[in-house]
Structure 1
């Protein structure tokens, strides 16, 4: 029986409309009523609209943000965070200032971006946050994640420092941008899903994960029921045991029905 479901956000929970279909919330409620834990598992931070999605899925449980760097229990407010190495952060900031590329730096409950480029403003709106560029130094440590907003061409040239983990993702709401998330080496959605399963005392064989992008691969590879969206990247589809419908056709509903039917 499926006892825990990890659910990605962009390209999985929400598509090009920017809205979660009503049928998804209905099936999420049915899954919880069956005793299934639902965990948001996003590259987004644990604030803004992502926190609202998490509460709507399960306001009494664990959720994964920042590609696994922040693991938060919404009921107890317990947070398990893994900070970035300070030297790597300084290097990223220097590179951003030299190149003019958009770099976002995140803590558990706040973030900073210096760029005033249109992508930076658009992403703040997508996150449901006010756009207020400010120096990176004004963000109090610990810093748990950095993120580049790049063109597909520039994203292919990024090489992560050896002490950082790199995850590539996308959003239907910003189709021309690749989001290159950087966390401390060893931090990933897959590691975080194992941590949540252990907290719930759920065997990984009874865990389902649904995603569409490269930052979902680590989670898909450790669960018993890896599911790819119909709009997923080719490598995600290859890593899944099943491919469901497109996000813009509420494909996530297919996976939720499978999980509910397993109980």
Structure 2
């Protein structure tokens, strides 16, 4: 039995410094697809903007995981298996954001809202590849699947120590915004790990024949449920410890190494 599915994080795994993806990565993507391996973007980013384009280039008829598992979207049909954020938890987060003047973003499968106009909010819209248009946090149509704090990296301990209504909390960073911390908040039990499990089941691929490639704390859960966990050379300590294999730095095409490793397993 060959490896059936490779799940790929974005920031620090697919995308490196300056938002660059080494061309050698796309060569390896073509090789993996030709071998019949399903590829699944598995990211904290939303299912729109540049992340959707990355997903289409990886596998344009496949299920992909966005928003740390809250959005599972087929980028061809736009069918969704997404999980909503509890309404009470959402209201509490919005109230806290307005009291503290922190940047909070609120997401559906295909849109997001942010009220603050701080530089980090503007920069994050550019990273996502969408226009920056501030709007009321409670103004979105459709099911809200995730909220996300965007704060200075120095606030990590403070933010992670807060009570979060039993939500799943997933901190992450990006080499494109190295001074920022992104803290994703999803429905209890919803994570990259739960979404990887669901996508693998939809393809009939046992988890022991799945690879997860990542670099950060929010990848560790998914790395723990698959048979082949791979950490990038730039990975944080948690991801390195969770990994079975280690490859090169994102800027050196470490993901291409991982994809070519998948062809040998």
Q: TM-score, normalised by structure 1?
A: 0.97
Secondary structure of 2:189's partner? coil
Match status 1:245 vs 2:248: yes
Unaligned runs of 5+ in 1: none
- The CA deviation at 1:17 is 2.7
Counterpart position of 1:34: 35
1:59 to 2:60 alignment = yes
Q: Which residue of 2 aligns with 1:140?
A: 141
Deviations 1:43-88 (A, max 9, x none): 0000000000000000011100000000011233210111111111
1:191 is aligned to 194
CA distance in 1, matches of 2:78, 2:107: 18
Q: Distance in 2 between matches of 1:79 and 1:173?
A: 28
Find the counterpart in structure 1 of residue 12 from structure 2: 11
CA deviation after TM superposition for structure 1 residue 160, in Å: 4.3
1:74 and 1:56 mapped to 2: Cα distance?
10
String of CA shifts for 1:134-174, please: whole Å, max 9, x gaps.
Answer: 11122124110000011223221122423310001000000
Match of 2:260 in 1: 257
Which stretches in structure 2 are left out of the alignment for 5+ residues?
Answer: none
SS across alignment from 1:76: coil
User: Residue 71 of structure 1 contacts residue 81 of structure 1 at CA under 8 Å; is this kept in 2?
Assistant: yes
Matched, 1:114 2:105: no
What is the alpha-carbon root mean square deviation over aligned residues?
1.0
**Residue 234 of structure 1: aligned partner:** 237
Determine helix, strand or coil for the equivalent of 1:79. Answer: coil
Larger mean Cα displacement after TM superposition, 123-132 or 149-158: 149-158
- Structure 1 distance, partners of 2:250, 2:131, is 27
Deviates more, 1:21-30 or 1:181-190: 21-30
Structure 2 Cα separation of the partners of residues 231 and 160 of structure 1: 30
Q: 2:48 and 2:203 mapped to 1: Cα distance?
A: 23
* One of 205, 211, 225 as aligned partner of 2:228: 225
- Secondary structure of 1:221's match? helix
Q: Is the 8 A contact 2:74 2:80 kept in 1?
A: yes
Corresponding residue number in structure 1 for 2:182: 179
Distance in 2, matches of 1:31 and 1:92, equals 41
Query: Could you tell me how far apart the structure 1 residues matched to 2:92 and 2:34 are?
Result: 48
Does residue 167 (structure 1) correspond to residue 170 (structure 2)? The answer is: yes
Q: Is 1:152 equivalent to 2:180 in the alignment?
A: no
Q: Deviations over 1:199-230 (max 9, x none)?
A: 00001010000001111011000000000011
